[in-house]
């Protein structure tokens, strides 16, 4: 039986969108494609534009969902965020958040400022 990873990813993003809305985020865009990859969700919290990466791990066999956002992924997110910001001619604050979903979707964690440029 083939696993449809696109369908699983979409359901994780749907879960994340609903969670973010409850947290007061305004969803601006989903699945923005750039030359560096795809941004799962672009949202706004107050004046801040948030690039949101969604990770869902059904099992902790290979670590938690948050663990999947390693240094390589963080660097990729920073490149995508800069490209999005320039392409949309944005001004004001921007940050990268992660919505980490573990297990059956009942455990959802929001990590604000998940990536620090230093």
Q: Which residue from 23, 28, 13, 7 is spatially nearest to 101, judged by alpha carbons?
A: 13
Q: How far is residue 100 CA from its own chain's centroid?
A: 8
Rounded CA separation 26/21 (Å): 6
pLDDT of residue 59: 81
Q: Dump pLDDT digits (tens) for 10-35.
A: 688 999 999 999 999 999 999 999 88
Q: Dump pLDDT digits (tens) for 44-60.
A: 999 999 999 999 988 87
CATH number corresponding to 5-111: 3.40.1350.10
Higher-pLDDT residue of 111 and 63 is 111
pLDDT band at 105 (very low <50, low <70, confident <90, very high): confident
């Amino acid at each position: 039986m083939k696993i449809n990873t696109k369908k699983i990813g979409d359901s994780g993003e749907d879960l994340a969108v609903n969670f973010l809305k409850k947290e007061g985020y305004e969803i601006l865009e989903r699945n923005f494609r750039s030359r560096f990859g795809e941004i799962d969700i672009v949202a706004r919290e107050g004046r801040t534009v948030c690039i949101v990466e969604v990770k869902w791990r059904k099992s902790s066999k290979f670590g938690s969902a948050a663990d999947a956002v390693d240094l390589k992924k963080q660097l990729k997110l920073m490149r995508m965020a800069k490209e999005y910001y320039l392409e949309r001619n944005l001004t004001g604050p921007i940050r990268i958040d992660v919505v980490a979903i573990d297990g059956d979707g009942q455990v959802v964690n929001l990590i604000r400022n998940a990536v620090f440029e230093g």
